[in-house]
Amino acid sequence: MTKLKPAITLAACVCLTACLKNGDVVAVNLDYAKTNYGYINSGDFKAGSFFLWDQGEARMVHLSDIPGFTPPPNPRDKTVQVAQYSSGAQIGGEAQKAAIKVRADAMIAKHSAFEIAYPNSVTYDNTVTRITRYLGDDIRAGGSLMQEWGFADAVNAPDQYYVLVRKVTYGDGIKLLVDGEAEVGGGFNVIIKGADVNVRLQGKGLNAISGTDTEIAIDVYVFRPEWKTVDGGQNPNFNVQHFVKADDLPALFRSTSRRD
């Protein structure tokens, strides 16, 4: 299966408020943008990719690829599906301010989307069983995963979590749509508070993610590590955290990406 070509960088020009003059540009990076299909997979991660996330320090590191997440055959019953942008763009300059970022997100969501060829969304279950089995097998073999994953330290650090890719949308490629049309280097104009706002998407484009049944978009589970008492002993365990605020994940994926 063909994987990602060299890293994807999408830039946009956004002039959003009176503090920016007509014609000013603000860089916007859409790597790992969040959509209704999950995060655009700009870094070649896959089902079972496993990370340690220090929420307090806003850092994340890729630890392992947990085995056993084999994709099923793609029924290929859908030719294309459109993923809608919701958040996660990296916005520079003046637009880093929260109020401006909200406007930028709204504009990107209104004017752009992502067309996935032959999509097949797969959600993997029994994630805790898969992780603990992999870790338990390593412990019994005298391996060092417990140390490499920093498990004991993470148990005692309330801001540390583990993140697992557990949902993947596979497909043959992805195209950026601007106002419903597939474009690379296209753009649009919006009037905001009397300013002529120009948004122009540039860069290599999302068509760099291609290959039969490749990982187009990903979504995750977040876990807290814990000790579980079994037969009088303490075994490592992972507790799913359904309601952890994860707005920082696009930026963390960008910093953790296995692609330059």
Tens digits of per-residue pLDDT, 60-90?
Answer: 999 999 999 999 999 999 899 999 999 987 7
66 HSE (CA, 13 A, CB side): 25
- Of residues 26 and 40, the one with the higher pLDDT is 40
**pTM for this prediction:** 0.86
Whether 2 has a pLDDT exceeding 90, the answer reads no
Position 231 in a domain: yes
Place of tokens 């920082």: 248
Rounded Cα–Cα distance for residues 35 and 109 (Å): 9
SS3 category, 167: strand
Position 4 in a domain: no
pLDDT score at 209? 78
Q: pLDDT tens for residues 224-233? A: 999 999 888 8
pLDDT score at 86? 92
SS3 category, 164: strand
Position 3 in a domain: no
Whether 164 has a pLDDT exceeding 90, the answer reads yes
Place of tokens 């085995």: 67
Average pLDDT over the chain reads: 82
Position 199 in a domain: yes
User: What would the mean pLDDT of 105-127 be, rounded to a whole number?
Assistant: 90
Position 1 in a domain: no
136 HSE (CA, 13 A, CB side): 13
Whether 188 has a pLDDT exceeding 70, the answer reads no
Domain housing 51 = 10-256
Q: pLDDT tens for residues 230-247? A: 888 899 999 999 999 999
Position 5 in a domain: no
Indicate the range of 9-13, 89-93, 109-113, 133-137 predicted with least confidence.
9-13
Q: How many structural domains compose the chain?
A: 1
Whether 93 has a pLDDT exceeding 70, the answer reads no
User: What would the mean pLDDT of 41-53 be, rounded to a whole number?
Assistant: 92
